[in-house]
Structure 1
Amino acid sequence: MDLLIISIAPVIIILAYIYYRDKYEKEPLPLLIKGLIAGMIIVLPVAFFENILSSFLPQIFTSKISYAFGNAFIVAALCEELFKLIAVYFLIWKNPNFNERFDGIVYAVFVSLGFALIENIMYVFSNGFSTGVSRAFTAVPAHAMFAIMMGYYLGLAKFINIKKSYYFTLAFIIPFFFHGVYDFILMSHVNWLLLLFFPFIIYMMYRTNIRMKEHEMNSVFKF
């Protein structure tokens, strides 16, 4: 029971926080639950394609550092952020409830943390309580921050009439890049890179908070 609690608790806390930050027009809970479930479902295709791509890595990336790079960017970040974006798009892009910029952040986080919930349960039950504690302050918030970046640009793509394809592309490229860097730091096992891990997380926290504030200030329901 303790393992299940430590697996689920950080996800619930972050979801509650994001729901609270959506100040001016709350999203319907049934649609948010659909997003959470969609995130859980995409674990299956993500795992499938990650396994396929992983099988090619030893032939392409022969050194330890290059292998870590390929594993971080091509396997993990590419597959996970791409399927998250696909799930968010089909969930809300044409849904009338997606009616302001901040909504992109809300739905992206719910989808992303649905994925993170299943991933977290698997890691914690395999590796124990201490893994759950460390992931509660690192991996789970990181998934949420990648999603905030994705949702920020989805909001721009939806509601700014120029550069729609540009912003939509950034909705994948930016979280893909940050996710890749995050995983590469950990997978590299290079001491000087590992020293950058927590500063990198703090920078992402700062960046995503600024992005949320920007969409909050531009809410069409604020006035």
Structure 2
Amino acid sequence: MTEPGNWQNQQNQQLPLPRSGAPLQQAHSAQELLSQGPPGAQPAPSHEYWAHPAPAPRRRPLVVTNVILLCVLLAVTLGTLAVFAFAIGVSVFLVCGALALVPLTICVVTLMWIDRWEPEPKTALLFGFCWGAGMAVVTALVVGSWVQPLLTASNASADPDLIGAVIQAPLVEEFCKGAGVLLLFFLRRRTFDGPIDGVVYAGIIAAGFAFTENILYFGQAFNEAGGHPSGLVGIFVMRGLMSPFAHVMFTGMLGACVGYAARHGGTALVLGAWVVGLVPAMLLHGLRNSLTFIHGNFLVLYLVMQVPVFILCFTGIVFLRRAEARLTRQRLSDYVPAGWFSQPEVPMLASGGGRRRALAWSKTFGAGKVMKEFIRLATRLAFTRQRILVDARGAPGSAAASRFAAAQGQELTLLHKAAAARGELLGRHGAAVAAAQHPPLNN
């Protein structure tokens, strides 16, 4: 990732930042107060609010299309689960559904950990889950029924189970899950900021798909075993415990490609990245499914083929999260000369340790939620600034130019919200210190 330097300075000269109405040097930052310890340690310094008035709040119209789409996906998901319950039996469905919640919980908790730096909207995550658990499953079943005959027609002697598992399933399922990633990009373009966002959106879609698929596989195994628990235990251990992240890793590859393109380019680059991202997703999916057809010790094959892929994916996530922290530091540093942030505040907001210390400090006087909001606003501001730098390259009248203008308005709104959050933090700290120094007299 490009470090701050001449390129960044040139970009900032071409894209002048709105200046703070009052010099930040005249106001005390939260980071300066943080070093003073908890309330009551010493008098709170004075704080000057920004002189530049915040823009008037605009009413955000209800996005009817998004609401309708979410309701449709919820209905499709519930309908799909109802059909599966009828197919395998309600009692079996309830047992298998409870077991399928185990790998789903593992995946969701992990995705929330990945998404901690700049959390995605909960409604978008619900949208992604419903797409994976409902629409993607239904579409994969329908399209798969068309594709498999085409694949087996060219080679009648081929094993249809092998073709279905190693070729048809990866092609169809990754395409259907990937369509949800692309849809989320267009619906949530303002919050689809980079590879981590792509991984999280793709992962939640894949987790939903795996949840419904696991219920079906668990139920079929249980019924084929004549209701004996041994048939269910084996597949639960293999799919639910040994490889809960399988679908998440496959589709996460595609999501990372789409997120990278969203950070560095426009729609054309995203569409190209989506096509490119399908290749590793399908290859990994086919490789994993081929394990059941390879003669040999399954545990050895699992350790040799699947574990290294998981380690590589985990390592990639760690590097991507560090890249997000570096980007946050770079873009927030852009605002220091303009007076919106002080230099000590940048590492406080752009590092995990700084955020933890800031939250611990704010909780000493009951302002933990305000500090979380300040951190959230600063992070969103950093990614908005990055999008502005990318869209500034667009020609006048182009879609990028329109996004550039909209992002500049969002940037100014976020700047004023961040300044207001800082003001509330310092105001609460001052009130807590004053109360500690002058406790009320008991009658």
TM-score by length of 1: 0.87
Q: What are the ranges of 5 or more consecutive residues in structure 2 without an aligned counterpart? A: 1-93, 223-231, 330-349, 351-443
Offset of residue 61 of structure 1: 3.2
Offset of residue 114 of structure 1: 1.0
Provide the rounded CA distance (Å) in 2 between the counterparts of 1:137 and 1:201: 13
SS in 1 for 2:192: coil
Residue correspondence of structure 1 range 41-60 to structure 2 within 5 A: 41-60=135-154
Offset of residue 3 of structure 1: 2.6
Offset of residue 70 of structure 1: 2.9
Residue correspondence of structure 1 range 113-132 to structure 2 within 5 A: 113-128=207-222, 129-130=232-233, 131-132=235-236
Correspondence 1:215 to 2:215: no
Q: Given the alignment, which residue of 88, 91, 108 partners 2:181?
A: 88
Offset of residue 54 of structure 1: 2.2
SS in 1 for 2:118: coil
The aligned residue for residue 31 of structure 1 is 124
Residue correspondence of structure 1 range 155-194 to structure 2 within 5 A: 155-161=259-265, 164=269, 167-186=273-292, 188-191=293-296
Question: Is the CA contact (8 Å cut-off) linking 2:174 and 2:281 kept in structure 1?
Answer: yes
Correspondence 1:74 to 2:163: no
- Cα 1:195–1:59 change in 2 (3 A) is farther
Q: Which amino acid aligns with 1:123?
A: Y
Offset of residue 67 of structure 1: 4.9
- Cα 1:126–1:69 change in 2 (3 A) is closer
Q: Given the alignment, which residue of 241, 245, 248 partners 1:137?
A: 241
- Cα 1:68–1:200 change in 2 (3 A) is farther
SS in 2 for 1:196: helix
The aligned residue for residue 197 of structure 1 is 302
The aligned residue for residue 99 of structure 2 is 6
Provide the rounded CA distance (Å) in 2 between the counterparts of 1:61 and 1:139: 32
Provide the rounded CA distance (Å) in 2 between the counterparts of 1:221 and 1:27: 16
SS in 1 for 2:116: coil
Give identity over the alignment, percent: 22
Question: Is the CA contact (8 Å cut-off) linking 2:193 and 2:259 kept in structure 1?
Answer: no
Q: Given the alignment, which residue of 195, 199, 210 partners 1:101?
A: 195
Provide the rounded CA distance (Å) in 2 between the counterparts of 1:199 and 1:83: 29
Bigger radius of gyration among the two: 2
Question: Is the CA contact (8 Å cut-off) linking 2:106 and 2:244 kept in structure 1?
Answer: no
Q: Which amino acid aligns with 1:35?
A: G
Please report the RMSD computed on the Cα atoms of aligned residues, expressed in angstroms: 2.5
TM-score by length of 2: 0.46
Single out whichever of 206-215 and 194-203 deviates more from structure 2.
Answer: 194-203
Q: Which amino acid aligns with 2:276?
A: L
- Cα 1:63–1:193 change in 2 (3 A) is farther
Question: Is the CA contact (8 Å cut-off) linking 1:120 and 1:140 kept in structure 2?
Answer: no
Q: What are the ranges of 5 or more consecutive residues in structure 1 without an aligned counterpart? A: none
SS in 2 for 1:140: coil
Single out whichever of 136-145 and 208-217 deviates more from structure 2.
Answer: 136-145
Offset of residue 80 of structure 1: 0.5
Runs of 4+ in 1 over 4 A off after TM superposition: 66-69, 192-195
Provide the rounded CA distance (Å) in 2 between the counterparts of 1:166 and 1:193: 37
- Cα 1:73–1:197 change in 2 (3 A) is same
Q: Which amino acid aligns with 1:147?
A: T
Q: Which amino acid aligns with 2:175?
A: L
> Number of residue pairs matched?
221
